[in-house]
Amino acid sequence: MMDLTDRHARVFLRLLSRHTRLYTEMITTGALIHGDRRRFLAFDPSEHPLAIQLGGSDAAELAACARMAEDAGYDEVNLNVGCPSDRVQSGRFGACLMAEPDLVAEGVAAMHKAVTIPVTVKTRIGIDRDESTDRLYALVERVRAAGCRTFIIHARKAWLDGLSPKENREVPPLRYPVVHALKRDFPGLTIVVNGGIASIEACAQQLEHVDGVMLGREAYYNPWLLASVDPVLFGEAAPVESRAEVVERLMPYVMARCAEGVPVSAITRHILGLYQAVPGARLWRRTLSEQVHRPGTSPEVIRAALTHVENRKDDERLVA
């Protein structure tokens, strides 16, 4: 997710689940080829399994960026054919590429030839007001022939004219049966469903029909959800037993990055949702939000916020 799932967010989320595959925010081919390549490709070894998501449409550029990703150690290259923002339309990548399946297939074929790691595609079930699934099936057919075996399908259409990116995550109706039917019609492909899934129970229900589930903003804004993934979906013990343990395990990473000059706020912004929907959530967010921007703030502000929250929970138990 652009501007959200950077390397700091991913290190934090990895603490909650060993098995969940993490994805970078979408990185354009232009940014990698002409920008600060080292910064865009950087990740912590703890993030594996890790996929990089690319935005672009030029086959040669996609192949070059896929090679960069493989050389950097990524486990998968994912091509975004689903982002509906105006910026991606003007740059000829994202959801508008659903109208150009041959161009997508050309890019996937070039990446597939350039690397040995899996090349996957994330898309939507359609674009604009067309209610048929012909466009989706045409895309999958052509891209499958180009070597792609895994498709992540956001179960909404993208309305490219008239809706903001936020509205495109909420207004077009979710149509999970379309994704389920795609799996039935292409049983040899790995089909992963995305969109509107907000609980582990909902994940389990979807897995009766498809091969995988991608969680987006729900996992970011309510990250404790991921602590149930390993025990419920993989039959293994959770890597952490409490939110406090997550904070303590994150602290060495925070200390190391801040020693390199990273502002503590660049990391704390990703952990504001850790106490979502439990006592102390507002206190946690307020303590971090008010303190981190003060001059000289150290990583210890995180432990201070944790102490405030845990003490409040203890006080509530005493009253009860």
- Rounded CA-CA distance 51/66 in Å is 11
Which phi-psi region, left, alpha or beta, contains residue 174 (left: φ > 0; alpha: ψ -120 to 50)? beta
- Rounded CA-CA distance 251/12 in Å is 10
210 in Cβ contact with 192 (< 8 Å): yes
Q: Which residues of 219-243 are buried (b: 16+ CB within 10 A; e: fewer)?
A: bbebbbbbbbbbeebeeeebbbeeb
Tally the C-alpha atoms within 13 A of residue 114's C-alpha that lie toward its C-beta: 22
Residue 296's contacts (CB-CB under 8 Å, 6 or more residues apart) are: none
- Taking 3-state DSSP, the helix, strand and coil percentages for the chain, each rounded to the nearest 5, stand at 50, 15, 35
User: Is the peptide bond prior to 299 cis by the omega test (within 30 degrees of 0)?
Assistant: no
Residues labelled as active-site residues: 83
Residue 150's contacts (CB-CB under 8 Å, 6 or more residues apart) are: 118, 120, 121, 189, 190, 191, 192
Q: Which two tokens stand for residue 306?
A: 């944790």
95 in Cβ contact with 124 (< 8 Å): yes
